[in-house]
Amino acid sequence: MLKSLRGARVATAAGAVAAAVATVLLAGSPAMAAGPSADGDMTIQTTDSNSWNLPGGDKWEVNAWHCGTYVNACDWKTSTKLLGNNPGNAWNITNRAELEAHGISASIEISKEPKASLSMKSRSLGEVRWTNTNAWIADLSGQMKPSYSTAHVSTRSCGSGQVNANINVSEKCVYAGAF
């Protein structure tokens, strides 16, 4: 009787700790959000976004997103946007994504859209890039397949471009890490 009561207390305490950790992960961090994955399962998403004011009133926005939990693969999305109407489109707008697996002997495979170029910088770091012309957005997406020794993945999104003859935007970056 004493063993089963003690076991029940340990199980209850472990469940409370797990619930508290889940609450902190889902609600306590502004960079973490819960939502459905592509297959409909609930997943933790890791995201970052920032915007910068441009002359004339437009904004330059850079976004990074990837899943926070995964089994074999993790979806990712990045974008660079010109928001406003002065002008409505940039002469050219570039988004560059750095996708990285972190951990001892970590490695990563990366898939991307056909429009983009992929360059592996190391076994654990890949760079995907695309430049769009006469457009308000350059966006990328794909999937990361980290090795089993990977502790977590990260996505860094960087945007640059030439809005018009007078406005050249140097590279601005955001970082979505696992924690």
Q: Which domain holds residue 78?
A: 31-176
Q: Are residues 63 and 107 in the same domain?
A: yes
Percent of residues in the chain assigned helix, strand, coil, to nearest 5: 15, 55, 30
Per-residue pLDDT of the chain (179 residues; tens, 9 = 90+): 434 333 333 333 333 333 333 333 333 333 444 444 444 444 456 999 999 999 999 999 999 999 988 889 999 999 999 999 999 999 999 999 999 999 999 999 999 999 999 999 999 999 999 999 999 999 999 999 999 999 999 999 999 999 999 999 999 999 998 65
* Cα–Cα dist 1/87, whole Å: 75
* Cα–Cα dist 83/93, whole Å: 12
* Cα–Cα dist 15/28, whole Å: 18
Q: Are residues 102 and 133 in the same domain?
A: yes
Beta carbons of 37 and 75 less than 8 angstroms apart: yes
Q: Are residues 43 and 112 in the same domain?
A: yes
The radius of gyration of the chain's CA atoms, rounded to the nearest angstrom, is: 20
**Residue 149, domain CATH:** 2.60.40
Q: Are residues 23 and 93 in the same domain?
A: no
Number of domains in the chain: 2
Q: What is the pTM of this model?
A: 0.76
